[in-house]
Structure 1
Amino acid sequence: MKILAVTACPTGIAHTYMAAEALEKEAKERGFNIKVETQGSIGIENEITKEDLEGADVVILTKDMVIKGRERFKGIPVVNVSIGDVIKKPGPLLDKIIEHLKKHNSKV
């Protein structure tokens, strides 16, 4: 599975990066390909490119802040989740995403 994600929190400091780390760790443990863009207090880091979008199965966006550049994910299933859930429950989050994609005949 190829996952893209964008994390951002109200202060743009710790939680932005904690969420990115939690997603990366959980996805890699499952053997998934993941790229996480952070939109923090120092701007956009690890920006998702057009090449990254190709073949993506899902995009995870934190919903605590406005995510810049949402339009680039058109045509890819998008999941909006609170940054706290990403940090505290990345495993159950990915389980729900996989279940949803399977139900809707998306490749997993």
Structure 2
Amino acid sequence: MNIVAITACTSGIAHTYIAKEKLIKAATSLGHNIYVETQGTIGVENELTKDSIANADIVIIAADIKISGKERFVGKRIVEVPTQLLIKSSKALINKLQEDLIPKV
């Protein structure tokens, strides 16, 4: 599964980057490709490319604040969660998303 994500918290420091690291670790351990953009007090880092968005099966927005650039994801399946959920249960969230994307036979 190809995943793109944005993480952002109210202070734009700790939870933004913790959520990013947890998400990357969970996704790669499950064999998925992932690209994560952060939006924090120092601005946007690792901005998602048009290609990574185009190839994404799912967009995860883990944010406690309003993020910029949501219009880039028109036509994509978007899941929005608070950063705390991603920090605590990133692997479970990815497993659930994978189950939902794969049709049951």
Q: Does TM, normalized by the shorter one, top 0.5?
A: yes
**Cα distance between partner residues in 2 of 1:79 and 1:102:** 16
Task: Tell me by how many angstroms 1:31 deviates.
Answer: 1.2
Aligned length: 104
Cα distance in 2 between the residues matched to 1:100 and 1:63:
22
Normalised by the length of structure 1, the TM-score is 0.91
Distance, in Å, in 2 between the alignment partners of 1:41 and 1:59 is 22
Matched, 1:24 2:47: no
Distance 2:63 2:8 in 1: 8
**Two-structure CA RMSD over aligned residues (Å):** 1.3
Matches for 1:20-99 after TM superposition, within 5 Å: 20-99=20-99
4+ runs of 1 displaced by more than 6 Å? Answer: none
Matched residues in 2 for 1:91 and 1:51: separation? 25
TM-score, with length taken from structure 2: 0.94
1:103 CA displacement: 4.7
Give 1:67 shift. 1.2
